[in-house]
Amino acid sequence: MPPHGTALDDLGQNQVKTSLSPSTAPILKIPIELITEIFHHFLPGTYPSAPPLLGPGADAPDEDSPTLLTQVCRHWRCIAHATPTLWRAIAIFDSCDEQGDPIEEPDKLLLARLDAMRRWLELSQPRLLSIRVGETNKGHSLRAEAINILLENRSRWEYFGFTPWIRTELEGRHIHGSFPSLRRLAIDTIDDIEGQRIFDPVDSPVLDDVTLCSSQWSHSANDLKTLLPWHQLTILLVESAMSRDDVLDVLALCPNLVHCRFDVLPLQTSTATSVLHLPLLKTAIFTLPSAAEVTEAEPTVLQYLRLPGLSRLCVSQNLLLAEILSRSSHHTLAEVVAALECPRLDALHIVDASYDFLGSQQDCPELTKKFTFQNPLDKSILDAEEWGSWDIFL
């Protein structure tokens, strides 16, 4: 239930009182606190998800904007404008069609959204913000203008999701420096370029949940150290073309991780790597593309991890095969899992599992009681209740 303590400031209270007359309609006699609660339930989702800036339209046919509440009557408008929690979640450049594909919008509509965003930033004071900047209208000058306006309020960012366009300008490089209230960060690049860093170092004393998605992993081990406050992170999702050592370099900086997910490509590596202990890690997901082939017996990230607190492990069959073959032809899945030193493991999910592979592991009855599998034709997503949601806005 949304907090109400400071929902109406003194100015808002005065405006509401003056809008009432002795002969008010019954609906206007409803307590302000109750109306405020009704307004919050009017929103299509709960914070940090964002309602539409301009109301129902092609981008959100089933959702309503809080701006509609201001159009009912002056009394409601005063209450809505004096309730900052209605305006604290903002999404821009994220319009999609019914299939979820991005929609390029005309300048007139973009300008209207930009004006609405400015107004919402004013009305949401002094609340923390949920901000999402999507991928539409790539390269448009209004994107840079919107980002600059949002950065003027950087001290209030709590959730920030960004899909920067970096072919014509390095949008992501605008995101750097101090964000004192930022708790969750998601950077999802499109058309990124090999060797090009996507964003500059970000600092926040409360940041603990990060998602990084790109087709190219462009951060050296030295760059990584200052890129983020890694030691604070408890949740990390990385989807990129990373080598085994890239993954281990990142994990080594995150001693307090509780949940991690790496969707990576099987790039070869040659540097020696020491064993890494992550005692707090409870959920680990390591997946490869289903088309990735095991061409040689290469030790995987699993061989270098010790996870005494692990309770849930999801891993691709191809990654397991590479790990088993790198040890010896006599090794089994049970031995690979045992090497992780995870006595608390109670769930093992194998992605892209073939029946031949599963049949070869039936000599591990204690382990097979714990695992489920997903065959290559099943593209379903891991159950969010068991494996968690990796969307920072949910």
CA distance 141 to 342: 51
Question: For 40-72, what is each residue's pLDDT tens digit?
Answer: 999 988 999 999 998 765 444 456 899 999 988
Residue 190 sits at φ, ψ, to 5 deg, of: -125, 140
Between CA 124 and CA 122 the distance in angstroms is 6
119 contacts: CB under 8 Å, gap ≥ 6? 87
Distance CA(226)–CA(197), nearest Å, equals 13
pLDDT tens, position by position, 164-223: 876 555 676 778 899 999 999 999 886 555 556 678 899 999 999 999 988 667 676 677
* Per-residue pLDDT, 184: 97
d(CA 87, CA 52): 10
Model's pTM, two decimal places?
Answer: 0.86
pLDDT confidence of residue 276? 94
Q: From CA 285, how far away is CA 262, in angstroms rounded? A: 6
**What's the pLDDT at 98?**
75
Q: Quick check: helix, strand or coil at residue 373? A: strand
Please report the DSSP string for 195-243 in residue order. T--SS--EE-TT--EEEEE-SS----HHHHHHHS-GGG-SEEEEEE--B
Q: Name the DSSP letter for residue 165.
A: B
CB of 185 within 8 A of CB of 211?
yes
For the chain, give every domain's residue range: 234-378
- DSSP track, 106-120: PHHHHHHHHHHHHHH
Q: Are strands 347-351 and 312-316 parallel, antiparallel or unpaired?
A: parallel
For residue 327, give the amino acid letter. Answer: R
pLDDT of 14 higher than 60: no
Percent of the chain with pLDDT over 90: 39
The model's pLDDT over 286-343, given as tens digits with 9 standing for 90+, comes to 987 655 666 566 778 888 999 999 999 998 888 887 777 776 655 678 888 888 999 9
Whether 73 shows a pLDDT value over 60: the answer reads yes
DSSP conformational letter for 67: G
Return the DSSP state at 370: T
Distance, CA of 187 to CA of 179 (rounded, Å): 15
Q: What is the pLDDT of residue 191?
A: 58
Rg (CA), the chain: 25
**Chain segment 115-149, per-residue pLDDT in tens:** 999 999 999 999 999 999 998 887 778 988 999 99
